[in-house]
Structure 1
């Protein structure tokens, strides 16, 4: 037996060599495999010793926890900071997509190729790109937490090609189209559409409005809650990103809200919109019985409640800028507004071109001024910065 201060190697009756070392916790451990030659066993010990010196040693016993056990432990630890709907979504993904493939595997046994194969299998099953990406992101979060807790050295969720999300453009309505849709709906559902189109509310925020959220004298709404459905149950929570905001409404919408409040109870907790039984609205039922039939009656196609929010964002961004639209929608980052909601209003590009054309002929127009500068300096070509711009 060859002895070392850190560990030792010994020849087994089979003729192969075993490497053993004492970890930082004082426990004597053997290499997970034996070696054909002594120098191979010693090389393994050298690498393991360097790993310990660098502080990169991982206790192999801790990595034996299964993905199911670790995933459930992780989800339990982050649940208090998650919205109920997100928490339920994570739990569903874990149970239905992650655990069937990795549940019994030890965290330390999962390799990148296994994750790649799993993603490929989800795609072959016909799951939507969105669902596949959600499942992968959750798996990645679970494995990153394993790295952060020193169960494994690196996450196996890397180098995976995810399916592309289909490019979908929101249907941006004109003012006239919105009014046709409002007119096609029975009261008070037309008011709901107005709040989406002229207030930019999310549908869950509109469903959660109560009397105390309406400040008629100031002509505004307080968006402080949102209604979600989890397994058919209603759950009231804060708005997305926990952003409470105030929204000023146009006068004609304030008048419609005032009229609607006249028929409701004075209790501050009274919901503005309910079903026939007085309970909160169910989104799918509202779509089926109210919104979708009104879309058809108004002569429109492929319009969703979410399109009304995108319509509002586009109107506001076009007239008042993206930052104003982001504030109205409750976005902390204006890039979210431009990426998912605001779109160029039809005809604006032609207006821009016509404006530039008009500037071209003016005495101090930008293009004439730059051309004069180039000739004065006898440059053969315009400056590189101007060309790049």
Structure 2
């Protein structure tokens, strides 16, 4: 077959079994070159697992949320890379996506977790096509059937249940419960709140960052970063927490202090955090969750209660108070979308069968009264 030069300047001389096949291939290739849609078939010959490792490095450089990077890395190393084996990236087909999902199901993983892992698989495949220009079929990840996942419903805590959790948790971490339930902060945001961002006289605070693995990172969304009004009840709780010195390192016995000196142990620097671990450093999720699970158990509330359910409590309490219009509730909750506030956080709508409706009686009674007055 006659050699040809590809857009990269390389000389190509494919071999085919039949002349007609070679002519058809050349015509198709030249058409793709003229259209600018030609893809180097050599790009698909790289090992898929090598491409997966390269993608992880690419994600680390592009993504600034460490928790997300950790999730992608866990999915890749635990499930995707072992599945890829010695496959080449260009050999992946729709059947591989189905086989990958079947393998996850065989591991007895939850439907929700399988959906998360497959999302990582799909993002990686799109990266292969868009960034690495690996020639893959367009439908390799399209409409793959996943096991049906049941969305977790937030536990609708009552004020009494929130108070019991706060009472049962380690005193050092009690303020976390109040900051989430009465201030609407997410877990990383309460870990990262500092004293210099609280305006006590004006009952306001500046939500600017969160902590992940002890490091300061950006908040979840742009809407999450803002000045917000704070209930005086919460301000008094924060003031009491600071007055008790619960933001400082926990005192230790003299012998322990001397051992630290001999070992050259250095305490974490004071970053002005409202909540710290027992050594005065930034709190992390793993440390706190042990205390949270214990408090939930001791408080006698639903054992499936998550810390994030406190943010649901915050929004639901604002929404049902009747003191704020819907848009204000959205802004106080720091949600980018109006629907998120009212469909996800504001409540399930339970109790509609018992609510007393008088709006129409009031409206039409007023109309009747007005007409009676006119005819009198």
Bin for the TM-score computed over the shorter chain: 0.7 to 0.9
Task: List aligned pairs for 1:154-193, cutoff 5 A.
Answer: 154-155=137-138, 156-185=140-169, 187-193=171-177
* Partner of residue 278, structure 1: 280
Deviation at 1:364, TM superposition (A): 7.6
Q: Determine whether 1:209 maps to 2:209.
A: no
Post-superposition Cα deviations, 1:88-119, rounded to whole Å, max 9, x if no partner, equal: 22222222211112253222111111111111
Post-superposition Cα deviations, 1:140-180, rounded to whole Å, max 9, x if no partner, equal: 22221222243325452223112232122111122233233
Q: Determine whether 1:116 maps to 2:98.
A: yes
Deviation at 1:196, TM superposition (A): 0.9
Post-superposition Cα deviations, 1:154-209, rounded to whole Å, max 9, x if no partner, equal: 45222311223212211112223323333444534332211111111112211222
Task: List aligned pairs for 1:225-374, cutoff 5 A.
Answer: 225-229=209-213, 234-241=214-221, 243-264=224-245, 269-289=271-291, 291-302=292-303, 303-318=305-320, 319=322, 320-344=324-348, 346-347=350-351, 350-351=354-355, 353-356=357-360, 359=363, 363=367
Q: How far, CA to CA, are the matches of 2:122 and 2:225 in structure 1?
A: 31
Match of 1:30 among 14, 34, 55: 14
Indicate how the Cα distance of structure 1 residues 364 and 107 shifts in structure 2: closer, same or farther if over 3 A, else same.
farther
CA RMSD of aligned residues (A): 3.0
Indicate how the Cα distance of structure 1 residues 362 and 104 shifts in structure 2: closer, same or farther if over 3 A, else same.
farther
Q: How far, CA to CA, are the matches of 2:160 and 2:38 in structure 1?
A: 67
* Partner of residue 198, structure 1: 182
Match of 1:126 among 99, 108, 113: 108
Q: How far, CA to CA, are the matches of 2:226 and 2:361 in structure 1?
A: 41
* Partner of residue 140, structure 1: 122
Deviation at 1:346, TM superposition (A): 4.3
User: Which runs of structure 1 show a deviation greater than 6 angstroms over 4 or more consecutive aligned residues?
Assistant: 265-268
Q: How far, CA to CA, are the matches of 1:238 and 1:157 in structure 2?
A: 31
Q: Is the 8 A contact 1:66 1:107 kept in 2?
A: yes
Q: How far, CA to CA, are the matches of 2:121 and 2:347 in structure 1?
A: 34
Q: How far, CA to CA, are the matches of 1:259 and 1:297 in structure 2?
A: 24
Q: Determine whether 1:67 maps to 2:48.
A: yes
Q: How far, CA to CA, are the matches of 1:364 and 1:168 in structure 2?
A: 48
Pair member with larger Rg: 1
TM-score, length-scaled by structure 1: 0.76
Q: How far, CA to CA, are the matches of 1:56 and 1:316 in structure 2?
A: 54
Indicate how the Cα distance of structure 1 residues 26 and 181 shifts in structure 2: closer, same or farther if over 3 A, else same.
closer
Q: Is the 8 A contact 2:183 2:234 kept in 1?
A: no
Match of 1:95 among 73, 77, 97: 77
Indicate how the Cα distance of structure 1 residues 142 and 300 shifts in structure 2: closer, same or farther if over 3 A, else same.
closer
Q: How far, CA to CA, are the matches of 1:358 and 1:122 in structure 2?
A: 58
Unmatched 5+ residue regions in structure 1? 1-6, 9-19, 366-389
Q: Secondary structure at the match of 1:205?
A: helix
Indicate how the Cα distance of structure 1 residues 251 and 263 shifts in structure 2: closer, same or farther if over 3 A, else same.
same
Q: How far, CA to CA, are the matches of 2:26 and 2:367 in structure 1?
A: 80
Q: How far, CA to CA, are the matches of 2:85 and 2:135 in structure 1?
A: 17
* Partner of residue 27, structure 2: 46
Unmatched 5+ residue regions in structure 2? 249-268, 370-376
Post-superposition Cα deviations, 1:206-259, rounded to whole Å, max 9, x if no partner, equal: 122222122211212222222223xxxx33322212542222211121112122
Q: Is the 8 A contact 2:93 2:136 kept in 1?
A: no
Q: Determine whether 1:221 maps to 2:208.
A: no
Deviation at 1:60, TM superposition (A): 1.0
Indicate how the Cα distance of structure 1 residues 34 and 331 shifts in structure 2: closer, same or farther if over 3 A, else same.
farther
* Partner of residue 77, structure 1: 58
